[in-house]
């Protein structure tokens, strides 16, 4: 029975990893006609590095991801702090709603909602970089909020704030010098998750972005019709970015 469990676990792990590792193997191979790829080359990576479209899309994706992270930090930390201090059933219900509700809404619905809501003055943002940032921030918000809220739960927030206030510190010094340093690991963990989500986001971006806002996932979809090898290299690059974010998250949690 135990051996059967290990076999099933190995089969499931292979089922999960194979679709992610196949583009990586394909991006380093010269030929792949049989079961395994043949030859080793960096030609496909060199091709995307020579093409200015890929570099522009990569920098744009990086910019959008950093802005989405900044927006989550500015909005998510104060919101999690207020909900944490809001005792009673209303506060607990609001906290659960903020954690669960965005996860239940499909990205296509989120994209359609942004497209309809921000398509008319005075909020005519459709097709701009701003709406892409807002969309990415909305998709990453529940993950960021859950991480920060869990960090607040592990702290004696009221005790820390009351001790700082008894020492004469105002609200802003208490938040800046007492709360944020203790909450920094949770903020960094949530930021890395938002960054990884934003770097690979496609559905919302394809619905709200204009012709001048081509992120790396959008360019990857276009490359599938033009150059499948280069598309595999781009997909591998997105996977590397996600893995780096996960490694950073593990290091932050360990510290």
Q: What is the pLDDT of residue 69?
A: 94
Over the Cα atoms of the chain, what is R_g? Answer: 22
Q: From CA 159, how far away is CA 161, in angstroms rounded? A: 6
Structure confidence at residue 68 as a pLDDT band (50, 70, 90): very high
Mean pLDDT across the chain = 80
Predicted confidence (pLDDT) at residue 225 exceeds the cutoff of 70: yes
Contact 200, 234 (CB under 8 A): no
Asked if residue 151 lies in contact with residue 185, where contact means CB atoms within 8 angstroms, the answer is: yes
Q: Is 204 or 35 the better-scoring residue by pLDDT? A: 204
Asked if residue 237 is part of any domain, the answer here is: yes
Average pLDDT over residues 215-243: 82
In a domain, 30, yes or no: no
Please give the pLDDT value at position 65: 92
Compare 104 and 187 and report the one with higher pLDDT: 187
Is residue 85 included in any domain, yes or no? Answer: yes
15: in domain: no
Q: How many domains does the chain have?
A: 1
Find the domain containing 216 and state its range.
44-254
**pLDDT tens figures, 140-181:** 888 898 888 888 887 777 777 777 777 777 777 777 777 788
Q: Is the pLDDT of residue 240 over 80?
A: yes
Residues 115-134 have a mean pLDDT of 80
Give the pLDDT confidence of 6-23 residue by residue, as tens digits.
Answer: 888 788 877 777 777 777
Q: Is the pLDDT of residue 89 over 70?
A: no
| CATH number (domain holding residue 116) | 1.10.3720.10
In a domain, 24, yes or no: no
Structural domain includes residue 204: yes
Low-confidence winner among 78-87, 142-151, 157-166, 245-254 (lowest mean pLDDT) = 245-254
Sorting pLDDT into bands at 50, 70 and 90, what band is 27? Answer: confident
Please report how the helices 180-199 and 129-153 are oriented relative to each other, as an axis angle in degrees rounded to 10.
140
| Structural domain includes residue 26 | no
Q: Is residue 11 situated within a structural domain?
A: no
Which DSSP state fits 176? I
From residue 227, give the alpha-carbon distance in Å to each of 48, 132, 231, 252.
10, 26, 6, 38
Where are the extended beta strands (E) located within the chain? Answer: none
Q: How many CB atoms lie within 10 A of CB 38?
A: 10
């Amino acid at each position: 029975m135990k051996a059967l469990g290990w076999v099933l676990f190995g089969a499931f792990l292979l089922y999960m990893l194979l679709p992610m590792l196949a583009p990586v193997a394909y991006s380093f191979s010269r030929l792949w006609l049989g079961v395994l790829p043949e030859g080793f080359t960096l030609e496909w990576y060199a091709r995307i590095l020579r093409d200015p479209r890929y570099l522009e899309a990569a920098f744009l994706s990086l910019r959008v991801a950093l802005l989405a992270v900044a927006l989550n930090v500015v909005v998510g930390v104060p919101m999690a702090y207020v909900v944490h201090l809001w005792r009673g059933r209303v506060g607990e219900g609001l906290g659960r709603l903020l954690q669960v509700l965005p996860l239940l809404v499909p990205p296509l619905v989120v994209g359609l909602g942004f497209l309809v809501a921000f398509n008319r003055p005075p909020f005519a943002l459709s097709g701009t970089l701003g709406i892409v940032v807002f969309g990415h921030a909305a998709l990453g918000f529940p993950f960021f909020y859950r991480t920060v809220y869990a960090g607040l739960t592990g702290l004696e927030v009221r005790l820390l704030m009351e001790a700082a206030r008894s020492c004469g510190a105002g609200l802003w010094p208490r938040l800046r010098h007492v709360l944020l340093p203790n909450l920094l690991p949770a903020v960094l963990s949530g930021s890395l998750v938002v960054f990884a989500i934003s770097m690979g986001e496609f559905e919302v971006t394809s619905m709200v972005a204009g012709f001048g806002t081509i992120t790396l996932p959008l360019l990857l979809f276009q490359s599938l019709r033009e150059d499948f090898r280069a598309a595999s290299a781009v997909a591998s690059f997105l996977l590397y970015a996600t893995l780096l974010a996960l490694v950073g998250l593990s290091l932050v949690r360990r510290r």
